[in-house]
A and B are shown apart, each in its own frame.
Chain A
Amino acid sequence: MRQKKWDSWEAFLLNFRGENLALRQGFEELLVLTHLQEYWRQNEVVPYPHQIETVKRVVSQMHGRAILADEVGLGKTIEAGMILKEYLLRGLVKKFLILTPAALCRQWEVELREKFEIPVVLARNDYDWSYDGVLASIDTAKKGIHRERIQAQYYDLIIVDEAHKLKSSNTQNWQFVNQIKKKYFLLLTATPLQNDLKELFNLITMLRPGQLGNYRSFKKKYMLDKRTPQNSGELKQLLGEVIIRNKHGANMGFTKRHVQNIPIVLSPLEQQLYDQVSSFIRDTFFQGLNGKGALPLLMLQREICSSTFAAVLTLFRFAQKIDEDQLTDPERAANLFRLAQQVKDNSKMKIVTELVSKNPEKMIIFTEFLATQSYIRTRLEQVGIASLAFDGSLSASKKEFTKYQFKTDPRYQVLVCTESGGEGINLQFCNTMINYDLPWNPMRLEQRIGRIHRLGQLRDVYIYNLSTCNTIEEHLLKLLSEKIQMFEMVLGESERVIGKLCSGKSLEARILELVIRSNSHHELQQGFQRLGQEIDQLLAEDNPSWEEIL
């Protein structure tokens, strides 16, 4: 006491008042909401009622152990981040570990930092495990030395993303996560039940062993067969104690999607080039035997659908016979190359220029190819519209800067984006999007739409799809919009549908097969019709009994 300096009585009282204001009480009021309110206001992060409700339930009723099984796009990561922050603010969590698939590590790191101000260490080395907040891919974490380090520690909270990968109790992943000593435990998955009720049992057992009894009793009481539940009411109640599943609904905060498909008639020269290239691809494919060299052909077919400019370079390579193993006719390719050079303009571009000029809103134009991207930007520049490019060649920081520039600089009305550039970025401040070409993989299309149509988008979303008549695009767009109902569904719903479609051969491969095997436009049309019927059948097979328990 003698060594310390005495402070004033006013300071003493103020200190006491401060301590009183900082006192933590029960979970009735979430601290995370008030603590981050200002930060979220500045960064336009909006927590949704279902997310707040989920956080409250997990911390106050489920004692910090839960499966967050919201349907895709409803913000499981946000919920988990809020729970983590709530515990951190209350001093109930100090040491935590987040396990995700490798591809999602960076995204988690950014989300936690940018939305919750939670710094985490992305673990790669042995000594990284000693930090309080660690994020790691599950594959890294389970490796020899890392595994030992993790299992020697006690964690206040473990979060496992994409937890459906832990569905089998015999796998190394399941055993590894199960062995970690922990207080609170969150499992995140949109599909807690995929194929088999045993998977669900394993997941819940890892979270809370005995919640469903042991497997023998579970099977006897709740399984009619491995895919059909019985005593659904009772089972649902038990599951409700550990699973929270928010589903898409009218009140979830998604704005409307307005979709306009714009058919475009190619100029005679463009149509001639398209037809000749398609026929060249077909002939070359059959010459190539066993599909050898099919990949460049597939690429060429997609390029010619996008724009002639995208196809020119590939035609040039075919003409030069740059790839030795190609069985193409270089003479024919050279003729096509010369024909392609005569095409000076792209019919789609006239529509794009019109759309952009008429609409003062910021817009994103998506294309699959860099050559098309470059062409679009040049043409926009010619009519006095400044644009920014966003593609896979940009570094993470450059991407961040471009996004910032697009958001804040009124000079830039358009962002011309390729798929690889657009992955994982959120552009909710923009509500209009033009699909200059259509990806053959619906998942990629879903990703595109998800950039602007997600929770947090406050305005209705406008999507313009350009499709050229008498080309694959015409049929593809019909398939995507009428059969898969790609543009009707909100983000996430379509993932379930796409998941079913892609369980066997990918849709992309099926389309290529159709293109190759069809000798005429009529045959192609019939092929797409058959594919559409198949999709109808697949969707009808959905298992409704699972909906009863989740």
Chain B
Amino acid sequence: MKQNEAEIFQFMAEALQLADAPYNIINEELIMAQCQIQVARSFFTPAHTENLNLQLVCTPELLKKYPGAELVTRGSYRLEWFIDGIRERGQLTRAAYPYDLDPSRISKEIACLLNQPINFYFERPSLNFQPNLLINFHVSFETDEKFEEISCLSLNLVTGEISTNLLANLTKKKLSSQIPKKNLSKKTISYREGFEALWNHLEWNLKNHDDTWINDARSHCEQELKYLEAYYQGNQTNVEQNNFYRGAAEIYQKYQPRIHVRITNLALLYLPLVTCTVEAYDLNNALPALVYDPVRQRVT
């Protein structure tokens, strides 16, 4: 299976698992599943459910091997169906990255991250969990064409640090829905302020976005207007003038660049931060405390 096929295959399997739908994976290439679908209430009261049996493959060549199976690829109806279903889930999440205070492990991890010989002793580390607000923004850029991106921004609600790579750091990690009872840092930034800060950052990002798409649209618009002018040149009647303005308005509307933003999902994450005081070997130099971020794997 190619990479994108495997990605879709894995996505469907996980979606079925999340939905508690019974499914079987055959030879790592076919998913057999039974889903329940609800027929709209407008037709049945109470809503009527039906079983839907699915046989799904992601590689076209497998259709011959599994007659009756459905091919699922990027953009296919079935994938859209799964995505629509999953959109109802995971919109709002609260989770924490479980981390325990093990001084010897922490010192090893920090030592690995520092690219220089260690000339200090580790003192007793302290751990606290800081709240982070993470928002995924779906951004679509539209003229007469359209393309879309997802912008993932997060904000540390204690320090105010905004980052764009937090989710990338977390995708492979196991987070827990159990929020730690101890060592929770109090947020200094409210959710509203946090959201505004992220929104402002997104706006700033969009202003600095590659504007080729706007320039392309502008040049098409100018060309269309040139044609329109050529057609109405010399026509002075009111009707013709109105037609010209109507045509021009249509062209502007068609090529006007627009950006639509929607929030796809949002998470409140409690992430560990370890503060280590250190003492230099020679005892003469006072060293500042080390702050170790196990999620981002960095030491400051």
Chain A residues close to B by CB (< 8 Å): 1, 4-27, 29, 31, 33-39, 41, 60, 63-64, 89-92, 154, 178-179, 181-184, 205, 208-211, 213-214, 217
What 14 new A-B contacts, CB under 8 Å, besides A23-B148, A24-B140?
A8-B18, A8-B177, A9-B95, A13-B171, A16-B136, A16-B150, A18-B11, A21-B7, A21-B74, A33-B75, A37-B71, A92-B142, A210-B227, A214-B231
Q: List 21 A-B contacts (CB under 8 A).
A: A7-B91, A9-B175, A9-B177, A9-B267, A10-B14, A13-B171, A15-B87, A15-B89, A15-B264, A16-B136, A16-B150, A18-B86, A21-B7, A22-B80, A24-B146, A25-B147, A25-B148, A35-B77, A89-B75, A208-B224, A210-B232
> Is B26 in the interface zone, CB < 8 Å from A?
no
B265: which A residues are within 8 A, CB to CB?
12, 15-16
Give the 9 A-B residue pairs with the shortest CB-CB distance, closest first.
Answer: A210-B227, A11-B90, A210-B231, A15-B90, A34-B75, A12-B93, A12-B90, A9-B175, A18-B83
Known contacts: A21-B83, A92-B142, A183-B250. The answer to whether A6 contacts B92 by CB under 8 A is yes
Please indicate the chain A residues that have their CB under 8 angstroms from the CB of B95 in the complex. 8-9, 12
Contacts of B89 in A (CB 8 A): 7, 11, 14-15
Interface string of B237-253 (1 = CB under 8 A from A): 00000010011011001
Chain A residues in 8 Å Cβ range of B11: 14, 17-18, 21
B252 → chain A, closest Cβ, in Å? 11
Known: A6-B177, A26-B145, A214-B230. A19 touches B250 (CB 8 A): no
In the complex, A7 Cα to B266 Cα: how many Å? 10
Q: Does B32 belong to the interface (CB within 8 Å)?
A: no
- A-contacting residues, B56-99, CB 8 Å: 70-71, 73-80, 82-83, 86-87, 89-95
Complex Cα distance, B171 from A183, in Å, reads: 41
Q: B220 interface residue, CB < 8 Å from A? A: yes
**Least distance between A243 CB and chain B CB atoms (Å):** 15
B76 touches A35 (CB 8 A): yes
Give A200 to B89 CA distance when docked, in angstroms. Answer: 54
B76 with A34: CB separation less than 8 A:
yes
CA distance A11 to B15 in the complex (A): 8
Q: Would A18 and B82 be within 8 Å (CB), given that A37-B76, A210-B229 are in contact?
A: yes
Closest CB of chain B to A97's CB: distance in Å? 15
Residues of B within 8 A of A217 (CB): 230
Given A35-B75, A209-B228, A210-B228, verify A6-B94 contact (CB < 8 Å): yes
A19 touching B138 in the complex, CB below 8 Å, given contacts A14-B18, A34-B74, A38-B76 = yes
A38 contacts which chain B residues (CB < 8 A)?
A: 70-71, 76-78
Query: Which residues of chain B have C-beta atoms less than 8 A from A205's C-beta?
Result: 231
Q: Are A35 and B80 within 8 A (Cβ)?
A: yes
Instruction: Report the nearest B residue to A7, measured CB to CB.
Output: B90
Question: Within 8 Å CB of A9, what residues of B?
Answer: 93, 95, 175-177, 267
> B8 contacts the other chain (Cβ, under 8 Å)?
yes
Q: A11-B89, A22-B83 are in contact. Are A27 and B145 (CB under 8 A)?
A: yes
Point out the residues of chain B lying under 8 angstroms from A12, CB to CB. 90, 93, 95, 265, 267
Q: Which residue of B lies closest to A38 (CB)?
A: B70
Partner of B246, one of A1, A17, A181: A181
Q: A26-B145, A38-B78 are in contact. Are A18 and B140 (CB under 8 A)?
A: no
Which of the residues A24, A29, A35, A209 comes within 8 Å of B247, measured between beta carbons? A209
Q: Please report the C-alpha to C-alpha distance between residue A235 and residue B229 in the assembled complex, in whole angstroms.
A: 20
In the complex, what residue of chain A is closest to B77 when comparing beta carbons? A35
Minimum Cβ distance to chain B for residue A424 (Å): 27
Q: Is B121 engaged at the interface, CB distance under 8 Å to the other chain?
A: no
Taking a contact as CB atoms under 8 Å apart, the answer to whether B14 and A4 are in contact is no
Interface status of B167 (Cβ within 8 A of chain A): yes
For A29, the closest partner residue in chain B by CB is: B75
CA of A35 to CA of B81, assembled, Å: 11
**B271 CB to nearest A CB, Å:** 12
CA distance A173 to B278 in the complex (A): 86
Residues A63 and B226 in contact, CB atoms below 8 Å apart: no
Interface residues of B (CB under 8 A from A): 7-8, 11, 14-15, 18, 70-71, 73-80, 82-83, 86-87, 89-95, 136, 138, 140, 142, 144-150, 152, 167, 171, 175-177, 191, 220, 224, 226-235, 243, 246-247, 249-250, 253-254, 264-265, 267-268
Question: How many angstroms from the CA of A288 to the CA of B229 in the assembled complex?
Answer: 65
Cα–Cα, bound, A323→B11 (Å): 75
Contact A13 B90 (CB under 8 A): yes
- B176: chain A residues at CB < 8 Å are 9
Q: Which residue of A lies closest to B267 (CB)?
A: A12
- Contact B93–A7 (Cβ < 8 Å): yes
B146 near A92 with CB under 8 A, answer yes
Of A11, A21, A209, the contact of B18 (CB 8 Å cutoff): A11
Query: Residue on A with the closest CB to B70?
Result: A38
Q: Are B231 and A1 in contact, CB atoms less than 8 angstroms apart? A: no
Cα distance A1–B265 when bound, in Å?
A: 12
Contact A91 B140 (CB under 8 A): yes
Query: What's the nearest-Cβ distance from chain B to residue A205, in Å?
Result: 7
Q: Say how far B175's CB is from chain A's closest CB, in angstroms.
A: 4
Cα distance, A89 to B76, chains bound together (Å):
11
A41, B79: Cα distance in complex, Å? 16
Among A4, A23, A209, the residue within 8 A (CB) of B149 is: A23
Indicate if the CB atoms of A21 and B230 lie closer than 8 Å. no
B250, A26: Cβ atoms under 8 Å? no
Which residues from chain B contact A20 at a C-beta distance below 8 Å?
150
Q: Tell me the minimal C-beta distance from B50 to chain A in angstroms.
A: 18
A209 touching B76 in the complex, CB below 8 Å, given contacts A5-B92, A9-B175:
no
Q: Are B83 and A183 in contact (CB under 8 A)?
A: no
Chain B residues near A33 (CB, 8 Å)? 75
Nearest-neighbour CB distance to chain B for A90, whole angstroms, equals 6
Tell whether, in the assembled complex, residue B144 and residue A183 are in contact, meaning their CB atoms are under 8 Å apart: yes
A36 to B70, CA, bound (A): 12
B261 to A: closest C-beta gap in Å: 13
Shortest Cβ distance from residue A222 to the other chain B in the assembled complex, whole angstroms: 14
Most chain-A Cβ atoms within 10 A of its Cβ — which of B82, B138, B167, B231?
B231
Q: Which of A19, A29, A64, A154 sits near B264, CB closer than 8 Å?
A: A19
With the chains together, A1 CA to B187 CA distance in Å?
A: 16
- B145 / chain A contacts, CB cutoff of 8 Å: 26-27, 60, 92
A34 to B8, CA, bound (A): 14
Residue of A nearest to B265 (CB): A15
Contact B142 A39 (CB under 8 A): no
Query: B253's closest neighbor in chain A, by CB?
Result: A183
Q: How far is the CB of A170 from chain B (nearest CB, A)?
A: 13
Question: Smallest CB-CB separation from B172: which chain A residue?
Answer: A13
Q: A64–B249 Cα gap in the complex (Å)?
A: 17
Q: How far is the CB of A146 from chain B (nearest CB, A)?
A: 20
